[in-house]
Structure 1
Amino acid sequence: MRRILLLHTGGTLGMTPSGDPAALAPGRFLDHLQEQVPELGRMAELSVEVPFNQDSACVEPSHVLLLARRIREAAARFDGFVIIHGTDTMAFTASMLGFLLADLGKPVVLTGSQRPLAFVRSDARSNLVNAVDLACRAIPEVGICFGTHWLRGVGSDKQSVHQFEAFHSPNLPPLAEIGAEIRLHGEAGQFPRQLPAGLGAALDLTICTVTPHPGMAWFPVPEGAKAVLIQAFGAGTLPMERPDLKAFLEVCRQRQLPVVVTSQCPFGGVDLSAYEMGRKIEAMGAISGGLHTRWAALAKLGIVLGAGGGIEQARTAFATSWAGEPMPGAAWPQA
């Protein structure tokens, strides 16, 4: 049998009716899982750890680094890994781990649920069974298993607060479609992936994120910000005739802050050369985020900053695929 390490970090799936925190001690939690889902014991030799237990809204970069470090430490003893995680920031953690564990060579499957495992009508049971199944398949991917799909972590985003199909991958097809059988995509695990040397030991999320709207006043760049991430309109346009926006971008240029532009649209991405407003943003030094999701862009920028990188390092990072994230002109064939 495959040896699988299950890391419980919190979220809806593991909530118990009693709310007893002692129920999440590793031994008791494994008993709880096997009581609720007895077939898990027939699927794999499971070990459970609880590196932390909290609402995923409270996840910090230190928690993600802890998970990455623990998985690397255990990689020689386990065939795959399942991470139970709250849904609210699961796409962020999956993007971070997708990059940090790009070269791990073993499956890392994040999952959770919209309703607790102990509830009669819950998606937790099927998500957990499917996640363990995928972790046993030796596909070297970091991805989110939720509902009827396994999605590459660096291409994923949350799309619903109540539907069981809570996540989507707008610019990549799924790694696997889950129904009566699990149908793996032919190229799952086939892309070369490697985090560039010197990156990943630290994360720095001191990033000013901006989601503009028509008529918005562009306030000064916060002191202490080390980069700016803008979710622009459409293919990457902003009201470049506004003096306050020009002043905002000029301050970024003077302070040598990387400015990365992604799109508010989930499907498609940024092409700063497509329209005049985009070309003006690019002329002021902004970096196209291309097809990166907001979470993948934030993760990649945080990894660059964590290694002390600046504008040129960020520009190179967003022109390079580290972990199979979608890049312009490199479409992945449909399943």
Structure 2
Amino acid sequence: MEIKPSIIELFNVDSSNIQPENWTAIVEKIQEKYDDFDSFVVLHGTNTMGYTASALSFALENINKPVIMTGAQVPLGYLGTDAVTNLVNSLRLAVWEYHDVKGVIAVFGSKIISGTRVKKGTDFDYDPFNSFQAGALGQIGRFMRIDEAALRKHVNYLSKYKPLAIQSRVLSVKKDFDTKSIASLTEFPGMSVDLFKSLVENNGIKAFIFRAFGAGDPSAHLFPAFEYLKTKKIPIIVTTQAPGGVASFQVNETGQYLKEHDLAIPAFDMSMESMTAKLAWLLAQKMDYEQIKIKMSEDLHGEINIENELI
């Protein structure tokens, strides 16, 4: 098979400096070139690859082509670089004929991962990414092994709301993200209950992501803050600080209180990267409080494992 690549440099920045405007630029370029190419490979730094992969997954709702993200732990030109291997493997998947590959996918090290599940686990390994709380789509090395059921599930999300986009004119693109309206907080014992109100009134915060204890179980002394946010119709998504945990509001007393009084949205098994990109994407669409509550609990692109909602 002959590969005819074209190289387009949108920006050259350290991935720690990636902004939502960069996500939008990538989406716009894919939309612009959609009819010209069969596949897209996005070269990206590792620090924020999970955020960008999630953002593109939501923005390109019904894409009918692969958008493969990759990069390197050791940059090209340095001794021991993994850049060439990762790029070659990404191109292999981009032209793979044996499976129906499409949508946003990361190829890095030995793993093939769905865009909304990309999670960096280490800075010191050639295989730094994991498929967060879900199985990988496949493994890649000398041979490529695809989990057909996982890939089929990944692809099915792309036509969940609209038919797959055969041409750019029917590609559903929602490319904007409002991250500046989000406050992301981690709970600790004795945390100030007044912090939430202050961020709303003094900083214009319109939504919160809150890493609570346990399975999404905040301290009861913070309940007045949750009640305040509900009266102001400001959504708060509650996740867990446990690396492999699930925030379900079904395990401990304080989490159950949030559920019974409709004070927060459980993150279930969404990654921090995925829930942040998703919330910013919904806010940019000017969705109201009730709409955000519904959509954040809905599995749009494989970011939520429905089975984990029942834990």
TM-score (norm 2): 0.86
Q: Contact 2:265/2:297 (CA < 8 Å) preserved in 1?
A: no
Matched, 1:203 2:181: no
Task: Measure the CA separation in 1 of the matches of 2:78 and 2:173.
Answer: 42
What residue number does 1:114 align with? 73
What residue number does 1:191 align with? 156
| Alignment-mate amino acid for residue 211 of structure 1 | T
What residue number does 1:179 align with? 141
What residue number does 2:167 align with? none
Matched, 1:214 2:192: no
Q: Decide whether aligned partners of structure 1 residues 143 and 266 sit closer, same or farther in structure 2, where only a CA change above 3 A counts.
A: farther
* Alignment deviations for residues 87-138 of structure 1 (CA, whole Å, 9 cap, x no partner): 1111000000011113111111111111111123111121111111111125
Task: Measure the CA separation in 1 of the matches of 2:37 and 2:300.
Answer: 24
| Alignment-mate amino acid for residue 66 of structure 2 | P
What residue number does 1:324 align with? 302
Q: Contact 1:257/1:310 (CA < 8 Å) preserved in 2?
A: no
Q: Contact 2:54/2:277 (CA < 8 Å) preserved in 1?
A: yes
Structure 1: where are the runs of 5+ without partners? 2-42
Shift of residue 64 of structure 1?
0.3
In the TM superposition, 1:216-295 aligns within 5 A as 216-218=191-193, 219-221=195-197, 222=199, 223-240=203-220, 242=221, 245-282=222-259, 283-295=261-273
In the TM superposition, 1:160-171 aligns within 5 A as 160-171=122-133
* Alignment deviations for residues 223-263 of structure 1 (CA, whole Å, 9 cap, x no partner): 300101111223111111x2xx2232222122210111122
Shift of residue 269 of structure 1?
1.5
| Alignment-mate amino acid for residue 224 of structure 1 | G
Q: Decide whether aligned partners of structure 1 residues 229 and 330 sit closer, same or farther in structure 2, where only a CA change above 3 A counts.
A: closer
In the TM superposition, 1:289-328 aligns within 5 A as 289-328=267-306
What residue number does 2:4 align with? 45
Task: Measure the CA separation in 1 of the matches of 2:277 and 2:266.
Answer: 15
Shift of residue 56 of structure 1?
1.1
| Alignment-mate amino acid for residue 140 of structure 1 | K
Q: Contact 2:71/2:83 (CA < 8 Å) preserved in 1?
A: yes
TM-score (norm 1): 0.80
Shift of residue 220 of structure 1?
3.4
Task: Measure the CA separation in 1 of the matches of 2:24 and 2:285.
Answer: 14
| Alignment-mate amino acid for residue 226 of structure 1 | K
Shift of residue 215 of structure 1?
3.1
| Alignment-mate amino acid for residue 191 of structure 1 | N
* Of 71-80 and 282-291, the range deviating more from structure 2: 282-291
Task: Measure the CA separation in 2 of the matches of 1:201 and 1:251.
Answer: 31
Identity %: 30
Shift of residue 77 of structure 1?
1.1
What residue number does 2:165 align with? none
Secondary structure in 2 aligned to 1:46? Answer: coil
2:13 counterpart (38, 54, 57): 54
Counting helix residues as a fraction of each chain, which structure ranks higher? 2
In the TM superposition, 1:129-148 aligns within 5 A as 129-137=88-96, 139-148=101-110
* Alignment deviations for residues 185-237 of structure 1 (CA, whole Å, 9 cap, x no partner): 10314423358689824211110111112233342331300101111223111
Shift of residue 307 of structure 1?
0.8
Secondary structure in 1 aligned to 2:41? Answer: strand
Q: Cα RMSD between the aligned structures?
A: 2.0
Q: Contact 1:199/1:303 (CA < 8 Å) preserved in 2?
A: no
Secondary structure in 1 aligned to 2:40? Answer: strand
